[in-house]
Structure 1
């Protein structure tokens, strides 16, 4: 019963202070709009896909994914991890920048904006490059795959990297999600409003009802009805002299 009463009191408290919730939520929504539409700078992500295959010396390398057999895809996990490291090697990134002649990015910045993930249970690598310019993102991603392929061949003397998906110029930014941003700000505003109301109630130690006295373990000796102020009406306009 106590939990039910407490819950009712909480809802009652929130309802009485609903103006705080409304104002705080509206402010949060406004901040969400400003953040999502004004403060976030759009960035574009281009993706190129490569596959690592085993080379059979007696036959040509198979580049068609549909033609790959189980024996073709036997690259060790450690080799894949090594390839992931080589992909963001400073030498590779520097070569990419030189080849593309994109001078407004450093190898460190390109490394930070590049991710390489292995598609689950495959030897496929998804390479993603993010940039403020969509055209540059696609150019850098494609050149990175090309330079990486050459790096593997020059380092190991094998040609087991095939580019299966060429990056296209992204049309939509990858870091802007207006509805998600505004929703997160809205939820944050509601949470802050609830916290403020609970804090106000916690700091308020005044007695507002007989129930507050009973919760302190005290007995109510008497309860006075609310007395409304009454205006005295003088029957004589002139009053008594």
Structure 2
């Protein structure tokens, strides 16, 4: 016999397990809020930009061949910026208590397609340190690239500023995600418990599980109500006997 579940049964399952679903969601939101606000370290971000373009007075302002060369150099520059040749100097200049690999993991270098502008973005638990690393990195790169590649086509466009607002974690986003995950987990657990609950609760369960017709139903007897009714009848009989006498 093929089992089918109606929308009404689904809603009844959700209503029956509503307390469980809300409890799981509440716990997920509570844990997410506590971890986000009190345990996760705020991370700050600062960015600086430089332009790859060699200015020459004796050539036109717009030189397609030179621009194409600069665009091809950007990929090489991105690698050089994060190389030990640059980062070791940055680390020593700022007297950083970290390895070159750790410093490398804090720095992101990127540029948009066909753009001569390159951005150096630094993330750190200290907002001022993030700005210092970004500015020092671009300054060291601008100075060292002249000796490494014998070119002078790097111009700093914008210095990194101290950003007092952390970029992560985002507690409210984490709480929103925890709410959705908690609801999904609660609903999933509710249906799982309902699926493994093989107890017989009503006549519909007998017909569905045993494929047998229901001939009759025995109602639940409220013994307390029956006892009160017997007491009331006895009291009325006694009252009637006294009035006759």
With normalisation by structure 2, the TM-score equals 0.83
Secondary structure at 2:68 match in 1: coil
Question: How far apart are residue 227 of structure 1 and its match?
Answer: 2.8
- Any stretches of 5+ residues in structure 2 without a counterpart? 238-245
Question: How far apart are residue 59 of structure 1 and its match?
Answer: 4.4
- Any stretches of 5+ residues in structure 1 without a counterpart? 61-66
Deviation sequence 1:11-47 (CA, Å, 0-9, x none): 2101111001111111111111101110111121110
- Distance in 1 separating the partners of 2:73 and 2:204: 71
8 A Cα contact 1:75 1:123, kept in partner: no
- Distance in 2 separating the partners of 1:15 and 1:70: 69
What's the counterpart of residue 63 of structure 1? Answer: none
Q: State the superposition RMSD in angstroms.
A: 2.7
With normalisation by structure 1, the TM-score equals 0.84
Question: How far apart are residue 217 of structure 1 and its match?
Answer: 6.9
Question: How far apart are residue 93 of structure 1 and its match?
Answer: 0.4
Q: Which consecutive segments of 4 or more residues in structure 1 shift more than 6 A?
A: none
> Is the aligned partner of 1:207 residue 2:200?
yes
What's the counterpart of residue 185 of structure 1? Answer: 178
What's the counterpart of residue 11 of structure 1? Answer: 11
Matched length: 230
| Structure with the higher fraction of residues in helix conformation | 2
Deviation sequence 1:61-114 (CA, Å, 0-9, x none): xxxxxx7675553236553221111110012001012222x3323211110111
Question: How far apart are residue 214 of structure 1 and its match?
Answer: 3.9
8 A Cα contact 2:203 2:214, kept in partner: no
8 A Cα contact 2:207 2:214, kept in partner: no
